[in-house]
Every structure is written in structure tokens, then in C-alpha cells.
Amino acid sequence: DAAAPGSVSLSGLTKSFGDFTAVRDLDLHVAPGEFLSMLGPSGSGKTTVLRIIAGFEEATSGTVRLSGVDVTRTPPHARDVNTVFQDYALFPHMTIAENVGYGLRVKGTSRSERVEQVAESLRRVRLDHVADRLPHQLSGGQRQRIALARALILRPQVLLLDEPLGALDKQLREQMQIELKQIQREVGITFVFVTHDQEEALTLSDRVAVFNNGRIEQVGTAREVYEEPQTEFVARFLGLSN
Ligand code: ADP
């Protein structure tokens, strides 16, 4: 139901940049606790939709609802979402513990409470032993787990992830996929995940939204989009056409 905590509802969403329309009249509903992937070729509008949900980009028309509340004109910091990017965006001169606790500090959480929550957060991503290090002393996979811990510490209802594993090599990527899925189950929040990698989308997600040219061609479970592609494009993109 559209008003449930953690739901994301987009209706009639359109985004134009000058004469170019990147997102066209798009509808999408993500259920609370769902892992939904936006899958599609480069330039199909996935990141633009994610940025509109986060509030970094303003929709030309249409509405965004989070937990049933219309946030179309709400600034990013006042939305109950957080974002993890491919490039981690950690502060280079802060220790790992300071990076993870940053959001709590901005919010005014007391120091003792912060220390406790940072420790718990680091344990969740199995990196409590790196608390005093600097980001450059960590591997790519570790940095991405820290970015995840930092995003989750504020307990958002919805986490937006933009190609979070895109910078990792294949082996690490596969390992991180498993961890990401485990963490999502543990914390039980809604994940909206952008990827151009179909294997990743189909492995991780409860449902996949297949993007093409600013539109969603099909939304369904991995099995549905694979076994019953509803358009030529979906069949071709998933490599089923001869
Ligand atoms: P995807 O994430 O699927 O690769 P994007 O949402 O990043 O696609 O981009 C969709 C289209 O919108 C692309 O053609 C891109 O060049 C264009 N676009 C995205 N942001 C801007 C912008 N700020 N100004 C102009 N065009 C943009």
C-alpha cells in the first residue's frame, strides 16, 4: 500500500533537460522492504530517476511519494532517504569511525551515543577493526562497505544505491553482492538499486524495472522478466532473442 512506511511511489514522473527528455511519464511503486533494481542501458534514465527520488534533481512534472508523503518539493536533507554512490564519497581526511559517524554528528547526537552506534554499524559490515584508519588505507570493497555503514547509520526508510559495486573487480563484486543482500535483509529497509549489469540485478532483486529511453518497459521478478518478456526490447536486452 502506497502509504506504508518505506514505500516509494512515482507517478507521471517526467524530467527534461532543455529539449531533451530523459524520463518520460514514468510510474513505479516500490514496496516497503523491497529490493528493487533499475536495470537498463547507459543513458536510459536510471540515475536521473534515483536523483529525483533523493531530491538532488527536480522533476519537470509528476510526483514522488515516500512512505505515502508527497516529497516532490521537499529538499534532500528533509527526505527519509540516503544514497550510496559508486565512488564511495568518503571524506579523505577523516578516520573511518568519523566518516561513519558524520551524519550523527551533524544531527547533534551525543558523543557517547555516537561511539556506540558507530561501533555497531562497523560490526554490521564486519569492519570494526578499521575504525581508526583513513579511507585510502582500505581496499575498494572495504571502502564500499564503509559507505554503506555511513548511509545506514541514520536508519533511513529507503536506501538509494547508484552502481555501488561498479568500481570493484569481478570477484569482489560477487562477494559484495552477497553481503549487500544479507545487510538489506538484516536491516529490512527498502533498497532502490541502479545497475546496467543484468546478472547483478537479477541475482539481488525482489523485482527488476527494465529501463529503455526514459521509460520502464517492464517491472517484475527475475523469473517474470526472463521467462515472459513483455516487449521486444526486454527480450533483446536480456539476451533472449535469436
Ligand atoms: P543512466 O543512469 O540510465 O545511464 P541517466 O539518467 O544518467 O542514465 O541519463 C539519462 C539521459 O539524461 C542521458 O542521455 C544523459 O546524458 C541525460 N542527462 C542526465 N543528466 C543531465 C543533465 N544534468 N543535463 C543534461 N542531460 C542530462
Order of all β-strands in the sheet with 61-66? 20-30, 8-17, 61-66, 69-70
Contacts of 168 (CB under 8 A, 6+ apart): 140, 141, 144, 176
Dump pLDDT digits (tens) for 32-76: 999 999 999 999 999 999 999 999 999 999 999 999 999 999 999
Give me the percent of the chain exceeding a pLDDT of 70: 98
Reported as a pLDDT band with limits 50, 70 and 90, residue 1 is low
Residue 43 beta carbon below 6 angstroms from any ligand 1 atom: yes
Segment 157-171 shows an average pLDDT of: 88
pLDDT score, position 2: 66
What is the distance in A from the centroid of ligand 1 to the CA of 44? 8
Q: Which atom of ligand 1 is nearest to the CA of 194?
A: 2
Which residue ranges make up each domain of the chain?
88-155
Give me the percent of the chain exceeding a pLDDT of 90: 70
Residue 216 beta carbon below 6 angstroms from any ligand 1 atom: no
Residue 99 beta carbon below 6 angstroms from any ligand 1 atom: no
Spatial distance between the Cα atoms of 174 and 172, rounded to a whole number of angstroms:
5
Using the predicted structure, report yes or no on whether residue 242 has a pLDDT greater than 50.
no
Residue 212 beta carbon below 6 angstroms from any ligand 1 atom: no
pLDDT score, position 240: 63
Segment 26-30 shows an average pLDDT of: 98
Q: In Å, how far are 144, 164, 227, 229, 237 from 240, measured between CA atoms?
A: 33, 27, 9, 9, 8
Dump pLDDT digits (tens) for 168-193: 888 888 888 988 898 898 888 999 99
Cell numbers for 70, please give them: 508527497
pTM as predicted = 0.92
What is the distance in A from the centroid of ligand 1 to the CA of 164? 18
Q: ipTM of this complex > 0.95? A: yes
What is the distance in A from the centroid of ligand 1 to the CA of 42? 9
Q: What sign for the dihedral angle of Cα 123, 180, 178, 207?
A: positive
Q: Which atom of ligand 1 is nearest to the CA of 23?
A: 10
What is the distance in A from the centroid of ligand 1 to the CA of 122? 34
Residue 47 beta carbon below 6 angstroms from any ligand 1 atom: yes
Residue 156 beta carbon below 6 angstroms from any ligand 1 atom: no
Residue 202 beta carbon below 6 angstroms from any ligand 1 atom: no
